[in-house]
Amino acid sequence: MTLKQLYKPGNDKMKVAAFMSGAGSNLRRILEAQGNFEVVMIFSDTADESKCNAKKIAEEFGISYYCSDIREYYGSRGYGDRKDMNIRREYDKETAKLLEKHKVDVVVLCGYMSVVSGKICDRYMTLNVHPADLRILDSDGRRLYAGCMGAGCVRKVIENKGTGMRSSTHIVTTELDGGPVLMVSDAVVIDSNDEHALLDRLKEQGDWKVYPETVKRLAEGRFWSDDGVVIDIVEEKLLLRNKLRELRERMSDEDVKSKSGEITKRLLQLREYATAKTVMFYMSTNKEVRTEAAVRDALAAQKKVVVPISDLDNERILPSKLESLDALRPGAYGILEPILREEVKAGEIGLVIVPGLAFDEEGNRIGYGMGFYDKFLKRVSGKKIGLAYEMQIVDKIRTAEKDVCVDKIITEERVIDCGVGK
């Protein structure tokens, strides 16, 4: 299961265009947020400045401003209402030229009251915030609160005996409120029947928090998609890391010793280990699978033993030759590292013993969040073997493009052939 990144950060900040029709409070919160993005233009479909603050906000923040009054646009073409989507597509096609001019990456709808056609949302990542929890489905599997607006959403939640309201950010598609959900706010308790007062609270406690955070996370490259399901891969991995770290820390020292012994026995029996002339080990810490016995065996067998040195300044690990277990000292995070730095080329390493907090049977892994091993493993052509307790094997790990799989995983119960490269 390889995910597709919704936005891949580059050298420049993510360029955002904001569309609005009214007060613009959501846009103000986005503008006030700090992140790897910048609002490069504001577009409005409402020329009446007594109804729309777009021009005022643009002047206040020094942002390019454009307006094409949609009522006038339809009226000049002989249409009294705005329902004709053919005209809407023409309107959006002209607006898209402005987006192209400013090299926009993402469009954010901030109280924009016109339905966006595919001329915008099919071409540009377009976001919106909705005053209800779009994850809730009706008996037919459709989104219960799709299509409702403002206080009408609050009323519908109350009618459905809801006890709380949430704001949802989502990707805009040509299906009204039908795009993938990105984030959902914390619940705002329903403690009265005053729909407008509740809506104001939802805006303050829901929209104003979750919408800027969504834009910020998108700009950081945190959102990934697979078959229409969007996840924050950083948050998902963090939750799994915390869960597995907690489970591992509950292990007794005797369990760690016993299970590590079984894992080491299986490692030393592997053909890949027996034939490897150069082996890179991680030095175990806390309650990781212990590697000292395997390192000692490799040294005794006169293999070239390599142990990583963490170069925190350059966010990498340096594979360094180890002459003996006595030639180690605590390094970054208290992990043992070679005292002398004698770098070994990645191409020389025939086998890498890889640490991790979680693995799945396809060889996907979750490390400790720094990404040092993934960067390094891309340079290694030799086999990669993960060591893990059986409890660290999970059903499925979502992977990003930069993640590197292991070829095999050894637990105290089995050797898992991950089929990498088959």
Alpha helix positions (H), 364-416: 372-377
- Residue 317: C-alpha distances to residues 11, 320, 356, 385 (Å): 24, 9, 15, 17
What was the pLDDT predicted at 402? 62
Question: Is residue 232 one of the residues assigned to a domain?
Answer: no
Q: What six digits make up the tokens of 128?
A: 């919106």
User: Are residues 276 and 296 located together in one domain of the fold?
Assistant: yes
User: Are residues 159 and 243 located together in one domain of the fold?
Assistant: no
Residues of the chain under the 70 pLDDT cut = 1-3, 369, 400-402, 420-422
Running DSSP on this structure, what letter comes out for residue 351?
Answer: E
Q: How far apart are CA 51 and CA 58, in angstroms?
A: 15
Question: Is residue 221 one of the residues assigned to a domain?
Answer: yes
User: Are residues 218 and 258 located together in one domain of the fold?
Assistant: no
What was the pLDDT predicted at 82? 86
Contact 208, 32 (CB under 8 A): no
Among 173, 199, 227, identify where a domain stops: 227
For 83: left if phi > 0, alpha if psi spans -120 to 50, otherwise beta; the answer is: alpha
Number of domains in the chain: 2
Among 188, 206, 227, identify where a domain stops: 227
Task: Reduce the DSSP state of residue 130 to 3 states and report it.
Answer: strand
Question: Is residue 422 one of the residues assigned to a domain?
Answer: no
Question: Is residue 197 one of the residues assigned to a domain?
Answer: yes
User: Are residues 78 and 212 located together in one domain of the fold?
Assistant: yes
User: Are residues 103 and 151 located together in one domain of the fold?
Assistant: yes
Amino acid code (one letter) for 187: A
User: Are residues 251 and 164 located together in one domain of the fold?
Assistant: no
User: Are residues 218 and 108 located together in one domain of the fold?
Assistant: yes
Domain with residue 162: its CATH number is: 3.40.50.170
User: Are residues 244 and 138 located together in one domain of the fold?
Assistant: no
What was the pLDDT predicted at 422? 44
Query: Whole domain around residue 381: which residue ranges?
Result: 237-417
What was the pLDDT predicted at 332? 84
Question: Is residue 86 one of the residues assigned to a domain?
Answer: yes
> How many Cα atoms sit within 13 Å of 2 on the Cβ side?
5
What does the angle CA 288 – CA 294 – CA 300 come to, to the nearest 5 degrees? 155
Question: Is residue 349 one of the residues assigned to a domain?
Answer: yes
Sign of the four-CA dihedral 142, 146, 152, 153 = positive
Buried b (16+ CB within 10 A) or exposed e, 197-232: ebbebbbebbbbbbbbbbbbbbbbbbbbeeeeebbb
Running DSSP on this structure, what letter comes out for residue 203?
Answer: I
Among 227, 248, 264, identify where a domain stops: 227
What was the pLDDT predicted at 401? 58
